[in-house]
């Protein structure tokens, strides 16, 4: 018998979002772990807000919204606020009923600025790493470091000489002027972007085009491939090794002193190997053919541990691959180092929650 379509909608509904989300939905494990992490930041949230005035958007919902933006590859706050009005899954994840009003995109962005001022994203990322460490999913022995380029939210047309430019004719199109920079030699020493002055011209390798970029750096734990550190810095020629040592010092302040450090050929230099040896860390670095480096010879490269590190270190590309394609970090949606770093912490936290929740859900019940 053919069914009928009833255009008359009921006036009341008694179905909750909790009943609509399947028990096996992957967001359930992520939500449970996220709520545990947010409970540890309760004191931080209390210090951010005044005890008087009009109630604001709860910081827990702001952070969980940023996780949804990363997990579902949403372009930005405006699109998320639009989808939130009709997506029951998002409302369930944020512990909001169907009758609760949605977010205005401008108010949502203004409240997110408060998280940036109080460095909440970094604390949230560190709390996720601490929670995963308590579950026994992280070791303190073997790590891998790597770097990548993140395109800035600025056009090459915005790159102008730092000195006062000569007087030119009015542009043919003020909104999108024609810029002829062919034959002009541009470098970071003489030119700068007017849209994002902190972005730098960089390229992936020889023969590649130069783009306005930031450099992203990740520190991976080799046991389960989780990201324990993520940093954004200006794109320079030596920033990979400098940030690798900076992340190593930050981990040392937490009492974590690894035994080995894996990396690709970009880290194969005498000074970096000397710095690792000084900290009693074995450098499991990919070697540049024909380059001899004191501290990185056959006594290290012929061991089983070195071969294992060289095989596992490639997992760090999975972190960058997910953060760029799913998390939206291929090209940042923000201007400046601070806002890009804020977004990187949130995307890194989403990656760790996603991976660790799978192991937690698959763990046998004893």
Q: Are residues 148 and 292 in the same domain?
A: yes
Q: Are residues 135 and 262 in the same domain?
A: yes
Here the CATH number for the domain that contains residue 266 is 3.30.420.10
Q: Are residues 164 and 242 in the same domain?
A: no
Helix (H, G, I), strand (E, B) or coil at 232: strand
Domain membership flag for residue 364: no
Which residue is associated with the tokens 């203004």? 110
Domain membership flag for residue 314: yes
366 residues of the chain, pLDDT tens digit each: 777 777 877 767 777 888 889 999 999 999 999 999 999 999 999 888 888 888 888 999 999 999 999 999 999 999 999 999 999 999 999 999 888 888 998 888 888 898 999 999 999 999 999 999 998 888 889 999 999 999 999 988 888 888 866 545 566 677 677 776 666 788 888 889 999 999 999 988 888 888 999 999 999 999 899 999 999 999 988 899 999 999 999 999 888 889 999 999 999 999 999 999 999 999 999 999 989 999 999 899 999 999 999 999 999 999 999 999 999 999 999 999 999 999 999 999 999 999 998 875 444 444
Q: Are residues 320 and 270 in the same domain?
A: yes
What are the start-end ranges of the H helices in the chain? Answer: 17-20, 26-39, 42-48, 59-71, 77-84, 88-93, 105-117, 120-134, 239-253, 270-278, 298-301, 304-312, 316-325, 337-362
Q: Are residues 261 and 308 in the same domain?
A: yes
Which of 98, 106, 79 is closest to 18 using CA atoms? 98
Q: Are residues 184 and 310 in the same domain?
A: no
Q: Are residues 69 and 111 in the same domain?
A: yes
Query: What's the pLDDT score for residue 164?
Result: 61
Q: Are residues 222 and 95 in the same domain?
A: no
Q: Are residues 304 and 248 in the same domain?
A: yes
Query: What's the pLDDT score for residue 333?
Result: 92
Q: Are residues 269 and 329 in the same domain?
A: yes
Q: Are residues 99 and 232 in the same domain?
A: no
pTM of the model: 0.90
- Domain span at residue 168 reads 159-194
Counted domains in the chain: 3
Distance of alpha carbon 2 from alpha carbon 54, whole angstroms: 53
């Amino acid at each position: 018998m053919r069914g009928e379509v009833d255009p008359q909608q009921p006036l009341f509904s008694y179905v909750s979002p909790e009943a609509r989300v399947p028990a096996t939905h992957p967001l359930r494990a992520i939500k449970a772990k996220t709520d545990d992490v947010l409970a540890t930041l309760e004191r931080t949230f209390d210090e951010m807000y005044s005890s008087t005035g009009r109630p604001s958007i709860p910081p827990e919902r702001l952070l969980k919204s940023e996780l949804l933006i990363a997990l579902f590859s949403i372009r930005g706050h405006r699109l998320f606020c639009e989808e939130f009005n009709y997506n029951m899954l998002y409302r369930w994840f944020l512990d909001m009923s169907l009758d609760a009003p949605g977010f205005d995109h401008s108010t949502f962005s203004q409240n997110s600025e408060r998280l940036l001022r109080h460095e909440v994203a970094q604390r949230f990322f560190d709390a996720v790493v601490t929670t995963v460490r308590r579950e026994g999913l992280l070791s303190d022995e073997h790590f891998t470091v790597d770097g990548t380029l993140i395109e800035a939210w600025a056009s090459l047309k915005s790159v102008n000489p730092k000195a006062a430019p000569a007087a030119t004719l009015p542009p043919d199109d003020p909104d999108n002027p024609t810029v002829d920079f062919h034959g002009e030699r541009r470098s970071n020493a003489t030119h700068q972007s007017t849209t994002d002055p902190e972005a730098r011209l960089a390229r992936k390798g020889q023969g590649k085009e130069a783009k306005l970029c930031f450099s992203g750096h990740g520190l991976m734990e080799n046991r389960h491939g989780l990201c324990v550190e993520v940093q954004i810095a200006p794109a320079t020629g030596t920033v990979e090794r400098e940030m690798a040592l900076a992340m190593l010092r930050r981990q040392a302040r937490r009492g974590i002193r690894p035994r080995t450090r894996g990396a690709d050929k970009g880290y194969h230099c005498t000074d970096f190997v000397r710095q690792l040896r000084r900290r009693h860390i074995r450098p499991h670095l990919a070697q540049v053919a024909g380059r001899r480096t004191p501290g990185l010879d056959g006594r290290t490269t012929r061991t089983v541990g070195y071969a294992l590190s060289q095989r596992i270190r490639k997992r760090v590309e999975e972190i960058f691959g997910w953060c760029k394609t799913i998390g939206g970090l291929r090209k940042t949606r923000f201007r400046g180092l601070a806002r890009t770093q804020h977004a990187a912490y949130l995307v890194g936290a989403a990656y760790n929650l996603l991976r660790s929740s799978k192991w937690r859900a698959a763990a046998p019940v004893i």
